[in-house]
Amino acid sequence: MTEMISNGAIANLLERHGTLLEVAGDSPFKSRAYARAAESLRVLPESVATLARDGRLREAPGIGAGLTSVIEEILATGTFAAHGELTAAFPESLGALLDIPGIGAKTAQRLYRELGVDSVASLEAALVEGRIQEAKGLGKRLEATVRSGLEALQLRTGRTPLGVALPIARAVIATYAGARPEDEISLAGSARRWDVTVGDLDFVVATTDTAASKAIARALPMVVSSESVSDHALRLELAGGLACDVFFTEPSSWGSTLVRATGSARHLERLGDVPDAVGTEAAVYASRGLPWIPPELREGDREFESWNEIDKLVTIADMNGEFHAHTTWSDGGASIVEMARAAYDRGYSFFGITDHSHGLGVAGGLDVGRLADQRRELAAIGGVDGLTLLAGSEVEVHRDGSLDFDDETLAKLDVVVASLHSGLRQPREEITSRLLEVLRNRHVDIIAHPSGRLIERREGGDFDWDRVFAVAAETGTALEINADPARLDLDPHLARRAVEAGCLITINCDAHSPSGLELMEFGIAMARKAWLMPPQILNCWSTSDVLEWLPTRARPE
């Protein structure tokens, strides 16, 4: 066994293998297992080789018996037999096609088998040469999808989504703090401000021995390489490719350095000169006659005029429940009771079970018969230790604006969450009219992830938001901030505009497992960045108020 293979290199190999399994049409559970293992290894506080040598590999999250054998084989040989067999059938470069919006695993496999497309470059060539539209079974529709997908790929910023960056940042902090507990370490920069994407990570370390602290930072297991930028700064490259800057300061200047390293350029410009030797952030802001301003609000926007509203903004403690969650009835990973128990354990008093309707075939959505069966199960459960369970559905919106279920079916549900998963590239007038029709449906209570964006993967629809917000306010339909860090939709700017137009907001994790409920912190951060307060957010209402609102709110006939 060799200890020369880094955690990051092993993680990258497992991730590539998982992607190729998806292309090959293998079990999606197997593919996700490799992806989860890769994520786990990238942030491990110990060397994978050390864990393997000590027989402790299965202590790592997401590593079972099968993956333990795979990792041991990688440590011994640099690869593993199953990966060699898979790459003999599908080149690794094929996995890059899945990054293109509109290109799924089945399409990637067909493009490879029928046209020999094995990379983004060869796909572009096939498009230019007209081979996609000429191929039997592919044709003009796929050509249009590929063209728009490649165009969308060019629009990506190359920044890292917050949902990817933040767990890595927290792992760095925990590992560093464990190795050098006498120092103070904090996240800074755009990730600390909860920006939806980050260019890199920033950390501030308060230390009385910069040389020793630098040595610890360089030796962290997730660090691939390091460069000394100055006597008090390091540039590190982490496993997975994310870079980070670490700034070292005396404890007496901790507050000054952290304020400078966290605030946006506009915030720092408006704040003015930051004193050099101030020990706390609160003292820095006090020197300007201000209270401590939370990092997510440091954008140079309204924090200097509306600082007296900060204490009124929504917090996670204000959440009394959620309306949008999935179970094993569709594409979730836990039963109704398991999800309800997790909601109860979070202190919720109400919880909506809203599995997909049948129109979203990939999610194993429910038809009318299965929906009725699920409602019977919910009725039999009744509740969990006083938690009120709401029988609902995430109902698919068709391209013409109609819904999966008829009015009679929808009327029997406690809560109806409508969502658009397809047709997001429709022209503005067409897609806006489609959403307005849904908003005017008297049975629809909530619009889920309204823009339909997937951060750094898919642009949202080109909606006329002024019209959307006006009709949502008129009908009383709540608009969602989806807390899934892949979405964070509505974004803070649109959420603020919605509330100013008179709309009601709801924040939901769209959880597919009990752990998914932990994503609420992302949704709360987006709501705070939008300066939202509890009365404006449906989840903050009492159960009795929610139960009164659902059947009696303004619904035009």
The answer to whether residue 556 scores a pLDDT higher than 70 is no
Distance separating alpha carbons of residues 501 and 495, to the nearest angstrom: 10
The answer to whether residue 252 scores a pLDDT higher than 50 is yes
Q: Which of 142, 110, 137 is nearest to 127 (CA)?
A: 142
CA angle 356/361/367 to nearest 5° reads 55
Per-residue confidence (pLDDT) for residue 557, from 0 to 100: 47
Residue in the structure block whose two tokens are 């109609």: 402
The answer to whether residue 518 scores a pLDDT higher than 70 is yes
Side chain identity, residue 64: G
User: Which residues contact residue 535 at a Cβ distance below 8 angstroms, ignoring those fewer than 6 apart?
Assistant: none
Instruction: Name the DSSP class of 274.
Output: P
Per-residue confidence (pLDDT) for residue 32, from 0 to 100: 83
* CATH tag, 7-155: 1.10.150.110
CATH topology for the 316-552 domain: TIM Barrel (3.20.20)
The answer to whether residues 118 and 93 touch, using CB atoms and an 8 Å cutoff, is yes
Domain ranges of the chain: 7-155, 160-307, 316-552
Distance separating alpha carbons of residues 445 and 275, to the nearest angstrom: 51
Residue in the structure block whose two tokens are 């066994």: 1
The answer to whether residue 3 scores a pLDDT higher than 60 is no
**Which CATH architecture best describes the domain 160-307?**
2-Layer Sandwich (3.30)
The mean per-residue pLDDT over the stretch 509-530 comes to 96
- Output the six-digit token pair for 480: 């969602």
| Per-residue model confidence as pLDDT tens digits over 118-148 | 888 888 888 888 888 877 767 788 888 888 8
| Per-residue model confidence as pLDDT tens digits over 166-198 | 999 999 999 999 999 999 999 999 999 999 999
Q: What Cα–Cα distance (Å) separates residue 23 from each residue in 95, 102, 107, 146, 322?
A: 7, 14, 9, 17, 35
Per-residue confidence (pLDDT) for residue 554, from 0 to 100: 44
